[in-house]
């Protein structure tokens, strides 16, 4: 659906000895995307976890329209052609729209299709606890603030805590609940 943020996870094996060139290519790719596609929200990159593992790149766009414009662009075609000598096979692309970007699948997940109902349940529980904790911790200290400024602070704290602290630690512990066992090795 256009207008909803979309996240694309790309896993790619790189030819041995070409890692530095690949990382430079990836940097040029993301700089070009940032310049040419206004709905590009950013990316993060992860080097291989071990020998023979792929690089993982997470790209975020403001909607499917922006992603489609990038995927069908001459810029992307040129960059893929330029990078081809560095690749040790085809990349695996996964599109995620909705809530699943909060959740990292457990190791061995073949097709990460987390249950949207279970993701929503977990997020409601986490958001509820966070709202209670933030209000209890900062409610009195911010009681004289304007409602919109106070809300902005609370939302920023909540999103930051969920993105960088809570969800990365919680997801591995609840992986079997979010990702049914039948979809893992």
Task: For 140-162, write each residue's pLDDT tens digit.
Answer: 999 999 999 999 999 999 988 88
Domain with CATH 3.30.70.100 in the chain: 6-98
The angle subtended at Cα 165 by Cα 161 and Cα 170, nearest 5°, is: 115
Q: Which residue has the higher pLDDT, 24 or 113?
A: 24
Q: Is 0.75 surpassed by the pTM of this model? A: no
Q: What is the CATH number of domain 6-98?
A: 3.30.70.100
Smallest Cα–Cα separation from 117: which of 170, 180, 60? 180
What pLDDT is recorded for position 184? Answer: 37
- The overall average pLDDT reported for the chain is 82
Task: Report, as an integer, the average pLDDT of 19-27.
Answer: 93
The Cα 102–Cα 180 span in angstroms is: 17
Question: Lowest-pLDDT range, 58-72, 145-159, 169-183?
Answer: 169-183
What pLDDT is recorded for position 133? Answer: 93
């Amino acid at each position: 659906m256009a207008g909803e943020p979309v996240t694309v996870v790309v896993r790619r094996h790189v030819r041995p000895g070409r890692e530095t060139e690949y990382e430079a290519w990836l940097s040029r790719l993301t700089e070009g995307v940032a310049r040419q596609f206004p709905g590009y929200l950013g990316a993060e990159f992860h080097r291989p976890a071990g020998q023979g593992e792929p690089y993982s790149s997470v790209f975020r766009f403001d909607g499917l329209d922006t992603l489609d414009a990038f995927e069908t662009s001459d810029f992307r075609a040129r960059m893929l052609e330029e990078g081809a000598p560095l690749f040790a096979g085809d990349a695996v692309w996964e599109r995620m729209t909705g809530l699943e970007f909060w959740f990292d699948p457990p190791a061995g997940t073949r097709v990460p299709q987390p249950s949207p109902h279970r993701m929503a349940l977990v997020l409601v529980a986490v958001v509820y606890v966070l709202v209670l904790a933030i209000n209890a911790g900062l409610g009195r200290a911010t009681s004289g603030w304007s409602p919109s400024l106070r809300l902005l602070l609370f939302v920023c704290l909540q999103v930051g805590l969920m993105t960088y602290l809570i969800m990365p630690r919680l997801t591995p512990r609840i992986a079997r609940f979010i990702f049914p066992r039948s979809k893992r090795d």
